Chain A
Amino acid sequence: MAKIAFADGLVLKGKGLGASGITHGEVVFNTAMTGYQEVLTDPSYAGQIVTMTYPLIGNYGVNTEDMESRKVFLSGFVVREASEIVSNWRCNEITVDEYLKRNNIVAIQDVDTREITKHIRTAGAMTAVISSGDESNEELVAKAKAAPDLVGRDLVKDVIEQNSYIWQDRGVYNVVVYDCGIKYNILRQLAEAGCRVEVVPATASSADILARKPDGVLLGNGPGDPAAVKYAVETVRGILGKVPIFGICLGHQMLGLGLGGKTFKLKFGHHGGNHPVKDLATGKIMITVQNHGFCVDIDSLGGDRNVEITHLNLNDGTCEGINHKHIPAFSVQFHPEAGPGPHDARTLFGRFCALMKEHKK
């Protein structure tokens, strides 16, 4: 037996999954029907308990190719039914249960995940604990209340690699990736676009980055509250205008902050692979992959005539992309690299290359 207890008192009983013990985090839901392995290994989920809305998880097992980072970073995992059997020619016969155990992740199954989703949708993202122990409901709720939420927390430092490394040593453009919890698929896409890819930790200074003589800097995704990672925003300010910049997700928020904007926390965020985003320049719609709880405030940038909003979320009208009119910097809130999710926005890596090409002249 296991339980998930929310800070507002809701307690659901289920069956234990993964490691035994207790864990806490902010609960979010992800609506993607495929790609649980990528979700599990996405560093942006650090500090969070992820509920999968699709009820059957683990059907195709886990494989070595679809990793989005070196390990599992999320705090907990909630599913309706975890498959006891795996079936796919690429999998290495490891069930989700076994995979979670190996990564020491406490999870729960056999709960009404739709109820959790609706709870989060109406009450907003909130902290919870999952426990396989025998604590009383009251104890668990008290622990959930005491658990820290994401606001004001720097989780970037917990997930980054400490040293810089080369992902691909040759390429037409020399790209430095500013790692805040980078997903491997961003690195794969850059490499595929023909870039030399070097990854530096978020602790790197702007001088350190510029010393590597990059043709462009990619500000990557990462966990937590962008406003809490002040040193990163400083670094972004230090390179702005000196080198072409492409921001993704947290990187987009950092560019927004670096340009003087503000970020705010969404009620329950966007986590899934079916969000329609309109490219305001072309009028075209892309189905995008999203994973963020914070958002750049359009109005906070509204006063700056140099910054234009390039993409809008058609579901809720939030800002999905910005571009600086005079200095080479643009960013998107969604994940063009996908993994998991649709590939509609992958052309943005080409746009980044074009920007570097133009700037190189």
Chain B
Amino acid sequence: MPRRDDIHKILIIGSGPIVIGQACEFDYSGAQACKALMAEGYELVLINSNPATIMTDPIMAQRTYIEPIEPKFVEMIIERERPDAILPTLGGQTALNCAMDLSKSGVLEKYGVKMLGASAEAIAKAEDRQLFKDCMIKIGLDVPRSGLARNTAEAEEALKIVSLPAIIRPAFTLGGKGGGVAFNEEEYRKFVQTGLDASPIREILIEEYLAGWKEFELEVMRDRMDNVVIICSIENIDPMGVHTGDSVTLAPAQTLTDREYQEMRNAAIKCIREIGVETGGSNVQFAVNPKNGRMVVIEINPRVSRSSALASKATGFPIAKIAAKLAVGYTLDEIPNDITAKTPACFEPTIDYVAVKIPRFTFEKFKGAEAILGSSMKSVGEVMALGRTFKEALQKGYRSLETGVAGLDDKLTNISDEQLRQGLITAVPDRLFFAKEALKRNMSVEEVASLCQIDKWFIYNVKQLIDMEVKIAAAAQIDAEFMLEIKRYGFGDKQIAKLRKSTEMEVRKQRLALGVKPVYKLVDTCAAEFEAYTPYYYSTYERTDESIASA
């Protein structure tokens, strides 16, 4: 099916100012969409209050409004420009909320503006917690168990459904005063009482407590012929309870068997269909109980999200660009995969490296902010690193953070055992550094994993880094083969120099003399199954180089 010809002029809503939780990723997705739609010959009108974005470059749209992203301003623009359609799914939550307001107030209907990507109904289903939950139960997907109680008897009934541990939240109180997490029946009864007392309407919400569960995300795309593909799976290293924007995450998922991954894939597909996101990308989040594998759906973002930007860069699949094309009526099989040129965009990228995302925090700039992670995002940026192993990507990522570390360094050698223990059990930003220090103090992989509730697979990889450090320090000399092995663990020359009591320049000289140099491998969406035409590389230490010298 070709593109829609019933629309000619499209209004795109940007994401506005850069704030914590909504940064340049939406400029990236918005700019991608503008380029794609412009190339299709549509007339574009853009609103974004942030003039410092790429999206607001004059060439990105026929007309650009630097105005506040608020319904009344957008209405004025609609009145003046009379667009046929509005595309609200590429500018983050701000754009989505604004479009929803315009839909609810009847502005879109008044001016005959069609909503592309997701309908108001779909957005409502995704955003309203209860509606979402009802939808998931309707299609047979598991969600966190919960119940409402207005007295102790109802709370006892609710406990039978929810079971412990449970989180008790009094209704209509600021900051959840009076509630808490109950791990035993005694605590439960206590929080039920204090919760009921604290709530002005004597009502409490009781929900299954998922802290410590593993968290996963799937990036899903759907076209108007109902073809659905998964672009990328993402595993959060930090457990549930830490905002995914603040988690160290990696793609693809590492600790799911195919059976579990496919179950998650099926659930994500059911979810996007039931919510009714007609075209474009969505992000579906899952929690998995590491003890028994029970999987629950947490939420769906019916739009291009922060994770979409990560997934795009991690796989080479341009989610925002394709989402824009799907929004105007193309189907996935009609859009070529830019990288392979010969195969269609209707496929699921497969990658042959690991992408690690690490958040960047600047607590020092926010006096009074507590350096503890929770359900609201606190990081101000992030890095993504690609490597052929998790160890390599992780160390590259930390090195790129510009926080003074050259990799997973020893920066906590001076803390007491008690501080170390606290660091492990608290959701602090640098938990893997705490894990490393604990392992160096002879704590077992299992103990560290259970204290910080991070999968032991990741902790074991940290241990392998420590073992390698010991080998580097102890080696009589480093030959080419050993140097390559060290590099495959992601160690930079600076780290090696410290372990060898040498200098970075000296190690570099030695390494080059041994002929150990990085090679460049392609990000090609297909693990080398097809020839790739887009030059998009990452460095690693392997046998063959794929880069082509341009001069």
Residues of chain B contacted by A121 (CB below 8 angstroms):
528-531
A87 close to B353 (CB less than 8 A): no
B389 close to A342 (CB less than 8 A): no
Q: A263-295: which have CB < 8 Å to B? A: 272-276, 278, 283-285, 287
Q: Report if B258 contacts A (CB, 8 A).
A: yes
User: With A54-B350, A114-B352, A276-B333 as given contacts, are A90 and B257 in contact (CB-CB < 8 Å)?
Assistant: yes
A343 close to B226 (CB less than 8 A): no
Residues of chain B contacted by A117 (CB below 8 angstroms):
352, 527-529
A53 close to B290 (CB less than 8 A): no
- Contact string, A315-347, partner B, CB cutoff 8 A, digits 1/0? 100000000000000000000001111110000
Q: How many residues does chain A have at the interface if contact means C-beta atoms less than 8 Å apart?
A: 55
User: With A56-B389, A287-B347, A314-B344 as given contacts, are A89 and B261 in contact (CB-CB < 8 Å)?
Assistant: no
Main secondary structure of the interface of B (DSSP, over half): loop
Q: Report if B255 contacts A (CB, 8 A).
A: yes
Say which residue of A32, A53, A83, A283 sits within 8 Å of B258 (CB atoms).
A32
Q: Which segment of A59-67, A100-108, A124-132, A220-228 sits at the interface?
A: A59-67
Q: Report if B521 contacts A (CB, 8 A).
A: yes
Give Cα distance in the complex from A90 to B332, angstroms: 36
Q: Report if B460 contacts A (CB, 8 A).
A: yes
Give Cα distance in the complex from A121 to B252, angstroms: 23
B543 close to A112 (CB less than 8 A): yes
- Distance (whole angstroms) from the CB of A112 to the closest CB of chain B: 4
- Contact string, B159-199, partner A, CB cutoff 8 A, digits 1/0? 00000000000000000000000000000000000000000
Q: Report if B74 contacts A (CB, 8 A).
A: no
Q: Report if A44 contacts B (CB, 8 A).
A: no
Q: Report if B209 contacts A (CB, 8 A).
A: no
Say which residue of A85, A114, A340 sits within 8 Å of B445 (CB atoms).
A85
Q: Report if B390 contacts A (CB, 8 A).
A: yes
A37 close to B528 (CB less than 8 A): no
Main secondary structure of the interface of A (DSSP, over half): loop
Residues of chain A contacted by B521 (CB below 8 angstroms):
114
A56 close to B354 (CB less than 8 A): yes
Q: Report if B526 contacts A (CB, 8 A).
A: yes
Residues of chain A contacted by B290 (CB below 8 angstroms):
89
B259 close to A65 (CB less than 8 A): yes
Residues of chain B contacted by A55 (CB below 8 angstroms):
352-354, 388-389
Q: Report if B547 contacts A (CB, 8 A).
A: no
Q: Report if A115 contacts B (CB, 8 A).
A: yes
- Distance (whole angstroms) from the CB of A113 to the closest CB of chain B: 7
Give Cα distance in the complex from A115 to B464, angstroms: 25
- Contact string, B484-528, partner A, CB cutoff 8 A, digits 1/0? 000000000000000000000000000000000000010000111
Residues of chain B contacted by A65 (CB below 8 angstroms):
259
User: With A34-B256, A59-B254, A114-B521 as given contacts, are A285 and B527 in contact (CB-CB < 8 Å)?
Assistant: no
User: With A60-B257, A118-B528 as given contacts, are A278 and B333 in contact (CB-CB < 8 Å)?
Assistant: yes
Residues of chain B contacted by A283 (CB below 8 angstroms):
225
Give Cα distance in the complex from A352 to B446, angstroms: 48
Residues of chain A contacted by B253 (CB below 8 angstroms):
34
User: With A31-B526, A276-B347 as given contacts, are A285 and B457 in contact (CB-CB < 8 Å)?
Assistant: no
User: With A55-B353, A274-B347, A278-B333 as given contacts, are A341 and B258 in contact (CB-CB < 8 Å)?
Assistant: yes
Residues of chain B contacted by A91 (CB below 8 angstroms):
257
- Distance (whole angstroms) from the CB of A68 to the closest CB of chain B: 11
- Distance (whole angstroms) from the CB of B124 to the closest CB of chain A: 28
User: With A12-B543, A63-B257 as given contacts, are A315 and B352 in contact (CB-CB < 8 Å)?
Assistant: no
- Distance (whole angstroms) from the CB of A311 to the closest CB of chain B: 13
Give Cα distance in the complex from A195 to B470, angstroms: 59
User: With A53-B528, A114-B528 as given contacts, are A66 and B257 in contact (CB-CB < 8 Å)?
Assistant: yes
B350 close to A53 (CB less than 8 A): yes
Q: Report if A142 contacts B (CB, 8 A).
A: no
Q: Report if B110 contacts A (CB, 8 A).
A: no
Q: How many residues does chain B have at the interface if contact means C-beta atoms less than 8 Å apart?
A: 55
- Distance (whole angstroms) from the CB of B535 to the closest CB of chain A: 16
Q: Report if B13 contacts A (CB, 8 A).
A: no
Say which residue of B252, B255, B344 sits within 8 Å of A88 (CB atoms).
B255
A339 close to B293 (CB less than 8 A): no
Q: Report if B310 contacts A (CB, 8 A).
A: no
Give Cα distance in the complex from A32 to B229, angstroms: 15
Q: Report if A38 contacts B (CB, 8 A).
A: yes
Give Cα distance in the complex from A113 to B347, angstroms: 22
Residues of chain B contacted by A63 (CB below 8 angstroms):
257
Residues of chain B contacted by A340 (CB below 8 angstroms):
258, 262
B259 close to A80 (CB less than 8 A): no
Give Cα distance in the complex from A88 to B542, angstroms: 29
> Which of A34, A84, A314, A340 is packed against the most chain B CB atoms within 10 Å?
A34
B348 close to A287 (CB less than 8 A): yes
B258 close to A115 (CB less than 8 A): no
Give Cα distance in the complex from A342 to B530, angstroms: 21
B350 close to A33 (CB less than 8 A): yes
B262 close to A53 (CB less than 8 A): no
Q: Report if B455 contacts A (CB, 8 A).
A: yes
B457 close to A87 (CB less than 8 A): yes
> Which of A32, A33, A56, A87 is packed against the most chain B CB atoms within 10 Å?
A33
Q: B303-361: which have CB < 8 Å to A? A: 332-333, 342-344, 346-354
Give Cα distance in the complex from A30 to B226, angstroms: 28
Give Cα distance in the complex from A12 to B349, angstroms: 27
Q: Report if B266 contacts A (CB, 8 A).
A: yes
Q: Report if B227 contacts A (CB, 8 A).
A: yes
A276 close to B344 (CB less than 8 A): yes
A284 close to B225 (CB less than 8 A): yes
Closest to A283 in B: B225
User: With A87-B457, A89-B292, A285-B346 as given contacts, are A35 and B257 in contact (CB-CB < 8 Å)?
Assistant: yes
Q: B192-226: which have CB < 8 Å to A? A: 225-226
B347 close to A315 (CB less than 8 A): yes
Residues of chain A contacted by B292 (CB below 8 angstroms):
89
B542 close to A115 (CB less than 8 A): yes
Residues of chain B contacted by A114 (CB below 8 angstroms):
352, 521, 527-528, 542, 544
Give Cα distance in the complex from A264 to B325, angstroms: 37
- Contact string, B429-460, partner A, CB cutoff 8 A, digits 1/0? 00000000000000001000000000111001
Give Cα distance in the complex from A115 to B542, angstroms: 9
Q: Which 4 A-B pairs have the closest CB atoms?
A: A35-B258, A340-B258, A53-B527, A87-B457
Extra A-B contacts (18), CB below 8 Å, given A34-B257, A59-B457: A32-B258, A33-B350, A35-B257, A55-B352, A55-B353, A55-B389, A56-B254, A66-B258, A83-B457, A88-B256, A117-B352, A274-B347, A275-B347, A276-B333, A314-B346, A314-B347, A339-B258, A342-B265
Q: List 30 A-B contacts (CB under 8 A).
A: A29-B528, A35-B258, A53-B352, A53-B529, A54-B252, A55-B389, A56-B354, A56-B389, A56-B390, A59-B254, A85-B457, A89-B291, A89-B293, A111-B543, A112-B544, A114-B352, A114-B542, A115-B544, A118-B528, A121-B530, A274-B348, A274-B349, A284-B227, A314-B343, A314-B344, A314-B346, A314-B347, A315-B347, A342-B348, A343-B266
